[in-house]
Structure 1
């Protein structure tokens, strides 16, 4: 081995050794925090957090040499940011499960109110302080704050200066929970909060429906969680009316049975027909149907003779979701714009619902795509994208109605009044909702 190659090999070994030592130090720090947050009072956890990650003094409780649990292994700002965030989420996840919401807020306040301008004689600590100040002014810190805001006020009681996208944070959190660039603790926190926000919306919607149809109920106890006003009740009736033999669930079950053992070529044709079967205003969606059929026909032609399985179904459902929402993850698809330009978002929402009813595993992909659309439209003021917001509201309500833990039924309360057409008189019916499980707390 030449002198140059030997030196290069030694440099690689040294670099790998530093990387391994950094990872070991990080895991020791994370394990230490997990241990104290599960066994110590919150006040003590806050003190330890301040020592280690704000004052950058090693723990008195470690019983080890200096730096074992401290942050002195960090040599660049990106590693510092990742370490700080993961430490925060370790504590937040544990306190959230114990409902120690007060201390979650105190944790973030502890970071934000630190006097960054006070310098020390240690240049490395001074550098850490500047990085910590950058963190407090970053989007990552804003995400952390979102995990405490829900305990200060309802996610649906918006302040006048809040951005319109705040109403749809649950979808942005779903995208975060599947983002592998984030720590596992951050993903878990996003997943938990997203579920809580969805459950809260489902509960408040069910309670609003009950209150709005009963003169005896309090008019102030439960508010409408949507922004559609009292029109939401009629929308719900339009969605719930598809029950019984011709319900979306039954049609989905029939489709699944009928398409067993089909090859991919035949399944592509079957799913296109299924998605637009019974969709109202067929003449308005004919162009969409043709474009979707063309896209499906060209997708994975090399597997056309393969017999479908669950993996194929998931992949094709995810692909159809892309065609109908966003294919790039950055801008809306042509079919999305085309369908919503027809003026009835319910058509698109029902088609998306029918996809999930035949492949529940595709729901996370759908919600991530919804998050991508929200990210795209957030740069526009609310007044310029009301049609998109209306779509989101209809989407929220439809998927809340078809949630597994809530059963909605339409009950006829009076005889239909004579009408000049054959349309169902929805005013003669009332919606009843029943919580199957006590999911909201």
Structure 2
């Protein structure tokens, strides 16, 4: 009752709806997810998009009244955060299913729905106006920018940063607050983009060295932004073999620092990272800035024996010093070191970190994503130096940290008398072969390791 007046059934229902707890909301969300999962598996993309539009954009004429009523009840709860979570997860349910069946156009169409003019039109319904406001907020949010990454790779006119979508997706799948569907979609797409780059790079490398393919339509396109000079770069990277290869040096360092104090480990880490770096200005800048940071890093553990968790945390901090320390803008050391020499030098330093701490790979890629996001507001012409760094990074990690093995073979018989040090890269050809796929390190495993200290 309100005063002496009995409530109508509709008023009672409204009061109940306005006091829904989270468990009820989850039930209503589950109804919507079940509906979308059902139609995306059996209906055409056009039909699915129509139902999605009627449900979320127009809130009318949806074929499933249970789903429509469930959305009404979520809206009546006046909880914009839960509405957005429902909307996000619904989008990624469709994206995951379409992506798995290689249907890319409906993904683009789904994302375009949020730019419809209908969203900006006022209505006579307070509830509908509320939904329109929430949809507008979503269309202007980081969540929507994340969503657009799944369509940007098909847009030839997209900005330069979208060429590095595999990195921009990393923050989505390491964020445990994102819906599981979003994390799975981001991880799957990122892996597929990396695999495609590895394959395209291997094919380009093989065909560009063939005299037959060079003069025919068999020539493969260059997947990098470095032009034909990329072949010489690949040869220079692959040429680092023998007892002083990056992998061997990493193995030696790990063995030599197994049972040492953390303080000793930090001092040894600097020497290991700079081993074989010839650029004196780079070495001086690195030593001055990194030594100061490492000296005070986790100094309360200096007298302890270094363990896996402490090694991981230290390598993650080194990555931050070398890229971005606040996950928003480049670190001073990043800009300084790139100004002191070839970007390959910094890339190799980062590679050395990953070779002794493979679980830091995801953290490194998330930081690379932060750098791209910081600079993407600038035109491509102003970011050439960063793009060169990113291309060198892509190539180096495709060669050393992925599942394609590159070998450098001397081809010229006339130079057989030359020793290894005098051999020129022009005398060599690159050959590639698949090796065993490395296990995927999950970001949450890394977090668990970090939290053990």
The TM-score bracket by the shorter chain reads: 0.7 to 0.9
Aligned twin of 1:67: 69
Residue in structure 1 matching 2:58, options 43, 55, 71 = 55
8 Å Cα contact 2:76-2:127 kept in structure 1 = no
Secondary structure at the counterpart of residue 409 of structure 1: strand
Farther-moved stretch of structure 1 (234-243 vs 278-287): 278-287
Q: How does 1:204-283 map to 2 (within 5 A)?
A: 204-217=200-213, 218-219=216-217, 221-282=219-280
Secondary structure at the counterpart of residue 67 of structure 1: helix
TM-score normalized by the length of structure 2: 0.82
- Kindly state the Cα deviation for residue 181 of structure 1 after the two structures are TM-superposed: 4.4
Summarize deviations over 1:141-183 as a string: whole Å, max 9, x none: 4432331343x46xxxx53xx4222222221111222234433
Calculate the aligned-residue CA RMSD, in Å.
3.1
Aligned equivalents of 1:404 and 1:295: distance in 2?
Answer: 30
Runs of at least 4 residues of structure 1 off by over 6 A? Answer: 13-16
Secondary structure at the counterpart of residue 54 of structure 1: helix
Summarize deviations over 1:229-283 as a string: whole Å, max 9, x none: 1111111111000123322111111221221122211111221111111222245
Aligned equivalents of 2:400 and 2:331: distance in 1?
Answer: 25
Residue in structure 2 matching 1:93, options 83, 92, 96 = 96
8 Å Cα contact 1:252-1:357 kept in structure 2 = yes
TM-score normalized by the length of structure 1: 0.84
The structure with the greater share of residues assigned to helix is 2
Aligned twin of 1:4: none
- Kindly state the Cα deviation for residue 90 of structure 1 after the two structures are TM-superposed: 1.4
Farther-moved stretch of structure 1 (405-414 vs 274-283): 274-283
Q: Runs of 5+ in structure 1 lacking a partner?
A: 1-12
8 Å Cα contact 2:31-2:67 kept in structure 1 = no
- Kindly state the Cα deviation for residue 120 of structure 1 after the two structures are TM-superposed: 5.5
Aligned equivalents of 2:296 and 2:19: distance in 1?
Answer: 46
- Kindly state the Cα deviation for residue 30 of structure 1 after the two structures are TM-superposed: 2.6
Residue in structure 1 matching 2:49, options 46, 50, 59 = 46
**Does residue 344 of structure 2 align to residue 346 of structure 1?**
yes
Aligned equivalents of 2:323 and 2:316: distance in 1?
Answer: 10
- Kindly state the Cα deviation for residue 417 of structure 1 after the two structures are TM-superposed: 9.8
8 Å Cα contact 1:416-1:425 kept in structure 2 = no
Q: How does 1:150-165 map to 2 (within 5 A)?
A: 150=153, 152=154, 158-159=156-157, 162-165=158-161
Aligned twin of 2:40: 37
Aligned equivalents of 2:141 and 2:360: distance in 1?
Answer: 32
Aligned twin of 1:103: 106
Distance change (3 Å), C-alpha of 1:43 and 1:331: closer
Work out the number of aligned pairs and report it: 418
Q: How does 1:32-431 map to 2 (within 5 A)?
A: 32-38=35-41, 42-57=45-60, 60-61=63-64, 67-68=69-70, 70=72, 71-73=74-76, 75-113=78-116, 115-116=118-119, 121-136=124-139, 140-150=143-153, 152=154, 158-159=156-157, 162-217=158-213, 218-219=216-217, 221-282=219-280, 284-414=282-412, 415-416=414-415, 424-431=423-430
8 Å Cα contact 1:58-1:67 kept in structure 2 = no
Aligned equivalents of 1:331 and 1:325: distance in 2?
Answer: 9
